[in-house]
Structure 1
Amino acid sequence: MAFVLDETAQNLLFREAHTANTFSDAPVTDEQIKAVYDLVKLAPTAFNQSPLRVTLVRTPEARERLVQHLADGNKAKTRTAPITAILSVDLEFHERLPELFPVMPALKDTVFADADAREANGRFNAALQAGYFILGVRAAGLAAGPMTGLDFEGVDKEFFGDGRQKTLLVVNIGHPGPDAFRPRGPRLSADEAVTTV
């Protein structure tokens, strides 16, 4: 089946893309990350709520503050990544809804008035955006190393002390280093995962 994306783009985004475990010392600029975000912010979210927030960890001091909350297997690669992004959900995303979804300004005080429902909705939509963020990193020619092996509560306290944001995952970003990629693991086939009714 033919795709609109050519095979080179398909390979870059999917077939040849792997989670990176080592990184070279080639720099990644804030401008590159902003360009990635400017592309992926167009991803769909319910009511255009856009709850994802990106915290860039670059300085050695901030990196060590993060590393102390990571699983042991994630510490070394995070110390050597040129930049690490903490992807989080803004639990108060609804405050921006009158601006982001002006056709229904009452959403802020009706649909999203309940804090638990708002958090569940925000987490789901921020996770959608996080998937697009990883694709955006790949589209920029960079390698992504997404991780969930961490103390979420510890990262939240360390970086989001006011409780407004909650960590979803951490993504190391850079150019792959030596032996950056493990062999790709198996995936379910379409016959196993797709059902037509």
Structure 2
Amino acid sequence: MSLALDSAAQDLLFREARTANAFTDEPVTDDQVEAVYDLVKYGPTSMNQQPLRMVLVRSAEARERLVGYLSEGNRKKTAAAPLVVILAADLEFHEELPTQFPHFPQAKSLFAERAVREPSARLNASLQVGYFVIGVRAAGLAAGPMTGFDAEGIDKEFFSDGEHSVLAVVNIGRPGENAWFARSPRLAYEQVVTTV
């Protein structure tokens, strides 16, 4: 089987990478997060939409506010993680479409309807969430993405403008002691792929 990435890169990004549940105390810097973003912003989305927005939860006060909205199993590890990031879809992303975008007039018109814009924002920001997790791994860090939370509560607490919708909360850092659960099985190619 031939892939452009060498085996070590494949392992770093996929085969050996796992969701981390414990981290060391080593901080995650703004420079590291910026480097991750500067890589993953190039991931493909429909019509080059970029609806993903990130909130870096660094202060103890903000962390405490967030943890209260997480499911019980996610609270302790989030309280202790070096960095927590709230990843959300900007439901008004169309206001940020670059004017040099080839289909700018058609896109602005298409996304003027919230019924069209909102599902597109959620789908494309979700793609960007996946890219973000891979980018964290590419930076040599571990990610612990979570969806076990009160989304409505987080939206009200952190996005009171009503223009953003949380998709995931991600703990980030260097993996600590007992960071990994046992690897869960994956479906085989034959179970997933059909040809028509």
TM-score by length of structure 1 reads: 0.97
The alignment status of 1:134 with 2:119, answered yes or no, reads no
Query: Map of 1:82-161 to 2, 5 A cutoff?
Result: 82-99=82-99, 102-161=101-160
User: Retained in 2: the 8 A contact 1:83–1:172?
Assistant: yes
Query: Map of 1:39-118 to 2, 5 A cutoff?
Result: 39-99=39-99, 102-118=101-117
The one-letter code matched in structure 1 to 2:43 is: A
Cα distance in 1 for residues equivalent to 2:44 and 2:104: 19
Cα distance in 1 for residues equivalent to 2:9 and 2:171: 22
User: Retained in 2: the 8 A contact 1:20–1:144?
Assistant: yes
Q: Which residue of 2 aligns with 1:12?
A: 12
The one-letter code matched in structure 2 to 1:67 is: V
Q: Which residue of 2 aligns with 1:2?
A: 2
TM-score by length of structure 2 reads: 0.97
Query: Map of 1:162-181 to 2, 5 A cutoff?
Result: 162-181=161-180
- Please report the RMSD computed on the Cα atoms of aligned residues, expressed in angstroms: 1.0
Note the residue ranges of structure 1 that are not aligned, 5 or more in a row.
none
User: Retained in 2: the 8 A contact 1:78–1:172?
Assistant: yes
Sequence identity, in percent? 59
User: Retained in 2: the 8 A contact 1:82–1:173?
Assistant: yes
Q: CA distance change for structure 1 residues 124 and 56 in 2, over 3 Å: closer, same or farther?
A: same
Note the residue ranges of structure 2 that are not aligned, 5 or more in a row.
none
User: Retained in 2: the 8 A contact 1:98–1:106?
Assistant: no
The alignment status of 1:190 with 2:189, answered yes or no, reads yes
The one-letter code matched in structure 2 to 1:22 is: A
User: Retained in 2: the 8 A contact 1:98–1:104?
Assistant: no
Deviation at 1:98, TM superposition (A): 4.1
